[in-house]
Structure 1
Amino acid sequence: MGDMTDMRTVYGKALVELGEQNPNVVVLGADTTDSLKTADFGKKFPNRFFNVGIAEANLVSVAAGLAISGKTAFASTYAIFLPGRCVDQIRNAIAYPSPGDKKGLNVKLVVSHGGISVGADGGSHQQIEDIAIMRVIPNMTVLIPADTVAVSKLTWIMSQRYGPHYMRLTRSVSPIVHQDSQEFTIGKGITLREGTDCTLAACGLTVKMALDAADSLKQEGISCKVLDMFSVKPIDSELLEKSARETGCIVTCEEHNIMGGFGSAASEVISELYPVPIKRIGVNDRFGESARDAEIPLLLEKHGITSLNIAKAVKEIIGKKK
């Protein structure tokens, strides 16, 4: 479980494999193809690779055009630019056009550098609004993988599914939390640990933090159920409701603003189906700031996104159970 791996490298590799199997797969970038490791696809399939330069709105529109002509288009750059600079094109060129009985166009938006763990790029480039932006757009699927096992499998699943998808990767290397045999189904969460006192529901980098928090709480006799909710939209309402009933309280965690993000999505579901106390952990409605690579854990700590803070939240919320 201690291995650290790089999501972008695994994504780049998955694209090359897809390209070999499916001649309809095309890949687009916006001057960040080396960083996103999509350049390898370009070396292998130069005719199916398009680097549009620093023009993110154009990246999305060109991807839409290729999708309309029957291609499966993967468009990638940093999260701060996509969705950051092109919500209009994502909404009106990809999600809105619905040919025949299809919903949206077949474009996969896969971004890197999500959240505040981008570090050195600073607050202006730390995307903490993308879950909120993307999940509110009709026809859009939103995925936040926890590790490279998830990235590899979800890239493949997205290629097999029709429609607009958004998947957010982290820049920093991330720990492996899943076995290679783990199956992923869009719209379903994964129960990593069973527990009875509280549910920890997380996505992305914070899944490992939730597991660590569950381990430390176990030492104190508190039993936590841990969920990897990589599919933020569609969200697994059934699993959330079941967890609420079984444990009576929920702590959510994400590397995103707590407003409108995964915690909000979970709260919406739980308040309608089976209301229990919920505590959302994430960025508390303020911007990030610069942090060197070695300082990223300190930046996460400053925003309360740590296993320690998850454990603290659990102890507080357990006291509020009915």
Structure 2
Amino acid sequence: MSSVQMTDMRTFYGKTLVELGDENQNIVVLGADTTDSLKTADFGKKFPNRFFNVGIAEANLVSVSAGLAISGKIPFASTYAIFLPGRCVDQIRNAIAYPSPPGKKGLNVKLVVSHGGISVGADGGSHQQIEDIAIMRAIPNFTVFIPADTVAVSKLTRLMSQIYGPFYMRMARSTTPLVHQDSQEFQIGKGITMRDGEDCTIAACGITVKMALDAADSLKQEGISCRVVDMFSIKPIDADLLAKCAKETGCIVTCEEHNVMGGFGSAVSEVVSEVYPVPIKRIGVQDRFGESARDSEIPALLEKHGLTSINIAKAVKEVIGRKR
């Protein structure tokens, strides 16, 4: 069996930005005193006149990005998820999403964050962002991405640079396993079927995609066939694929590194309940804050909050038992 390759989302994000900076002089990059951590400093070294570190002032980060967008630039603004959107929902809503030039929706600003979810570890519960999916998908005009690996990060960063509109993309702090091939294509509002199956659909996003694949592998040994879909596009979400999965497998388990209240699982439930209601089980943080954990303890923290392939497999068996 080949070993799993682990790669760093932030590194590939920074690398892609430098490539895009070479290709498009309108691309500018902004940070809030976290440019080394977000790996955007290399862009600043190569394009110092298109790089802005506003300091620990996240609301200003958003407002300056909006101004640059109005001036015709394509700003990529980045910091930690707990600060963006955590400290500046008002500016995101009223300075980026609300102003709409003729024939367009919102401003052309790309908000890209890291340190999403509870796998931030040692920063503790106060810095573990578990509400951002709920916040950002509720703001009109925003597109929301939660990539599963560095292939997705690189391709989605490039996609955001090419398409007008406000985007939010959340990356993990820790290294993540590769689950996609370099040839994989990514489209806004389209999920990716990672594995086919008949008995249940496991819909996942972010770091839980690998957990979903591992759960499907273990269940296969018990004769349970699971379909696994990477729903990296949280908003717009692939309603057609979810309806197809509901009809063909009869039940769905969702998994996310986020509060189950208002997050990805809620988005799936909203769609499925309207088009083809089937039993759904949501795996995620159960409406409570995280806590500190050293890097070596992050697997234990994820386990405490139920974010494991074992728990996903248990949920699949439970929801299958509720099928008509």
> What is the TM-score with the length of structure 2 in the denominator?
0.99
TM-superposed deviation, 1:51: 0.1
Structure 2 counterpart of 1:158, which letter? M
Mapped to 2, the partners of 1:106 and 1:49 lie a distance apart of 17
TM-superposed deviation, 1:109: 0.1
TM-superposed deviation, 1:289: 0.1
Q: Where does structure 2 lack aligned partners over 5 or more consecutive residues?
A: none
> How many residues in Structure 1 have an aligned counterpart in Structure 2?
322
What corresponds to 2:266 in structure 1?
264
Asked if 1:124 corresponds to 2:126, the answer is yes
Mapped to 1, the partners of 2:271 and 2:310 lie a distance apart of 26
Mapped to 2, the partners of 1:315 and 1:254 lie a distance apart of 18
TM-superposed deviation, 1:142: 0.3
1:142-181 residue pairs with structure 2 within 5 A? 142-181=144-183
TM-superposed deviation, 1:245: 0.3
Q: Which of 266, 290, 294 pairs up with 1:288?
A: 290
Deviation by residue 1:142-179 (Cα, 9 ceiling, x = unmatched)? 00000000000000000001000000000000000001
Asked if 1:242 corresponds to 2:223, the answer is no
What corresponds to 2:211 in structure 1?
209
Structure 1 counterpart of 2:261, which letter? M
Q: Please provide the CA RMSD for this pair.
A: 0.4
Mapped to 2, the partners of 1:139 and 1:6 lie a distance apart of 29
Mapped to 1, the partners of 2:315 and 2:154 lie a distance apart of 32
What corresponds to 2:60 in structure 1?
58
TM-superposed deviation, 1:246: 0.4
Q: Where does structure 1 lack aligned partners over 5 or more consecutive residues?
A: none
What corresponds to 2:110 in structure 1?
108
- Give me the identity figure in percent: 84
Mapped to 2, the partners of 1:303 and 1:186 lie a distance apart of 30
TM-superposed deviation, 1:65: 0.1
Deviation by residue 1:35-56 (Cα, 9 ceiling, x = unmatched)? 0000000000000000000000
Deviation by residue 1:61-88 (Cα, 9 ceiling, x = unmatched)? 0000000000000000000000000000
Mapped to 2, the partners of 1:319 and 1:289 lie a distance apart of 33
Structure 1 counterpart of 2:59, which letter? A
Structure 2 counterpart of 1:56, which letter? E
Structure 2 counterpart of 1:257, which letter? N
Mapped to 1, the partners of 2:243 and 2:158 lie a distance apart of 29
TM-superposed deviation, 1:9: 0.1
What corresponds to 2:28 in structure 1?
26
What corresponds to 1:316 in structure 2?
318
Mapped to 2, the partners of 1:255 and 1:111 lie a distance apart of 15
TM-superposed deviation, 1:287: 0.1
Deviation by residue 1:177-198 (Cα, 9 ceiling, x = unmatched)? 0011000001000000000000
Deviating beyond 2 angstroms after TM superposition, the runs of 4 or more aligned structure 1 residues are none
Mapped to 2, the partners of 1:104 and 1:234 lie a distance apart of 15
> What is the TM-score with the length of structure 1 in the denominator?
1.00
Mapped to 1, the partners of 2:314 and 2:299 lie a distance apart of 18
